Amino acid sequence: MNLLLNLKFYLGFIIAGNAVVALMIGAYLLRHRYEETLRTFFQGRCLQTAAWIIVFFNGGALDRVTAAFGNSLLFAGCAMEACALLQLTRTYTLRLRHYYQWMTAASIVSFHLILFTRNDLNLRVAFAATCLGVLLLLPVFRMLLGAGNSLLMRLIGFLYLVIMVSHFVRSVSIMLLHHTIDHSLFSGSLVTSLAYLTLNLSLILGGTGFVLLLKEVTDEKLLNLANHDDLTGALNRRAFFERTQSAIYRYARKQQPISLLLFDVDRFKSINDTFGHDVGDRVLRSLSRHILGRLNEHHLFARFGGDEFAILMPGYDEQQSEQESERIRVEIAASTIHLPDQSLMYTISIGLVTLIPDAYTDSERLYISCDNALYRAKRNGKNRACRGQYLKEL
């Protein structure tokens, strides 16, 4: 056995391991056909595995036809894997899809030109390695530097960075450092050995990491659906009360104030009856956009159902909460919903309560206290804010 590695045996081991992973993913996809991201990754890995099978059964000594076919599969598979990674970062767009289609086509055409004009083994291997590195460049950048990415995504991004750099190092070592490649890819040179070690890292850790990352992203989506209202994007009632109670405990320890604003749309039933529920939904979405545009990262915004909304403002005292509630009320009153034959304006009424919480402060009682203040705002003429007091006993 070669001191560096018996590369043909090693490549066979890699292909066998990758085939098992592909079979398991394929079996999963039979029951989950709409998992587009996993399907894209699976197809990309199948194409790459097929390319290396061609290398394996040709003993590394590829003729022009098998080299053309094998590298075409390799470019297409790597591009599909890159697209799947971009889907996980939530930055994949139709424009990027077209970019990767053109990149894949350009790589295949350029490789064929090299193959059928010069057929320089060093040049075509260096070109292929460069193309594979370039195809991974964008997903690596998005995974490592994307705002809000999880630690797992950054770790997988670092793994793909190692793979990408290895492709570039291999290309440079061939073209600039004049490392020659024997006609057999299984010659056991140090550069080739390192390239296959990196390939093994890619196939095993990359595949496992991708599945873990897909599960993490799926869990985040499910959690988001469970905690948010699908019409407005605001928190739902359950999630709001859970997070409000946590905020109460934190600010009780700090002995700092919190303010709760509870509001609804004036005459919302009349809007639904006159213009229809579709226009009513537009009003709720418009209201939510205005509110979300004003809040900072510490505020909690929720829809309790119908046209009733709430905002928790941790750290806001009476003066700050009154100023903010008035800004919101004025901004909403000046907003307009454009209909085919007219414009619709609407207003809101607000109830607000401010207190310095303690260990006995209860989020449900805080809500009821605020609801009483909202009722007074409605009774006093609507389109106004009314302050209430926290009721320790109901």
Q: pLDDT digits over 326-375, tens only?
A: 999 999 999 888 888 888 999 999 999 999 999 889 999 999 999 999 99
Residues 274 and 206 in one domain: no
Confidence of residue 194 (pLDDT cuts 50, 70, 90): low
Greater model confidence, 225 or 143: 143
Q: 246 is in which domain, residue-wise?
A: 237-388
Tell me: do 134 and 38 sit in the same domain: yes
Tell me, yes or no, whether 215 and 250 share the same domain: no
Instruction: Give tens-digit pLDDT for 170-189.
Output: 788 777 765 555 444 444 45
Q: Could you give phi then psi for residue 367, rounded to 5 degrees?
A: -65, -45
**Taking a C-beta distance cutoff of 8 angstroms, is the pair 41, 81 a contact?**
yes
Q: Are residues 172 and 242 in the same domain?
A: no
Residue 1 has pLDDT above 50, yes or no: no
Give the residue from 227, 246, 261 where a domain finishes. Answer: 227
Which domain CATH number covers 203? 1.20.1070
Residue 394 lies in a domain: no
Same domain flag for 280 and 347 = yes
Same structural domain for residues 185 and 221?
A: yes
Q: How confident is the model at residue 190 (pLDDT cuts 50, 70, 90)?
A: low
Are 219 and 108 found together in one domain? yes
CATH number of the domain within which 368 lies: 3.30.70.270
- Whole-angstrom distance, CA of residue 140 vs CA of residue 150: 14
Give yes or no for a contact between 88 and 37, defined as CB atoms under 8 angstroms apart.
yes
Residue 322: what pLDDT? 93
User: For the chain, where are the alpha helices, taking DSSP H only?
Assistant: 7-31, 36-57, 64-88, 94-117, 121-145, 151-175, 190-201, 207-227, 237-254, 268-275, 277-292, 318-333, 363-379
What residues have CB less than 8 Å from 316, skipping those under 6 apart? 257, 258, 259, 324, 354
Mean pLDDT of the 185-210 span:
62
Residue 2 lies in a domain: no
Under the banding of pLDDT at 50, 70 and 90, the label for residue 280 is very high
Our measurement of the distance from residue 300's CA atom to the centroid of its chain's CA atoms, rounded to an integer in Å, reads 22
Tell which of 161, 195, 227 closes a domain: 227
Which of 108, 98, 54, 110 has its CA nearest to residue 76? 108
Q: Are residues 248 and 187 in the same domain?
A: no
Out of 62-76, 105-119, 127-141, 323-337, least confident range? 62-76
Which among 227, 249, 282 is the end of a domain? 227
- The verdict on residue 381 lying in a domain is yes
Q: Global pTM? A: 0.69
Lowest mean pLDDT among 90-104, 167-181, 192-206: 192-206
**Could you tell me if 223 and 315 lie in one domain?**
no
> Domain for residue 338, yes or no?
yes
- Compute the distance between CA of residue 90 and CA of residue 292 in angstroms, rounded to an integer: 21
Residues 104 and 67 in one domain: yes
The whole-angstrom separation of Cα 66 and Cα 382 is: 77
What's the pLDDT score for residue 302? 95
Q: How far apart are CA 325 and CA 350, in angstroms?
A: 7
My answer on whether 175 and 55 are in the same domain is yes
Identify whether the C-beta of residue 309 lies closer than 8 Å to the C-beta of residue 234: yes
Instruction: Report phi then psi at 345, rounded to 5.
Output: -115, 150
Higher-pLDDT residue of 76, 178? 76
367 and 295 share one domain: yes
Q: What's the confidence (pLDDT) of residue 58?
A: 67
Cα–Cα distance measured from residue 54 to residue 71, given in angstroms and rounded to the nearest whole number = 10
Q: How many domains does the chain have?
A: 2
* pLDDT of 314: 94
Residue 393 domain-assigned (yes or no): no
128 in any annotated domain: yes
* Res 166: pLDDT: 82
Percent residues over pLDDT 90 in the chain: 47
Residue 202 has pLDDT above 90, yes or no: no
Tell me the average pLDDT of the chain.
Answer: 84
Kindly state whether residue 167 falls inside one of the protein's structural domains: yes
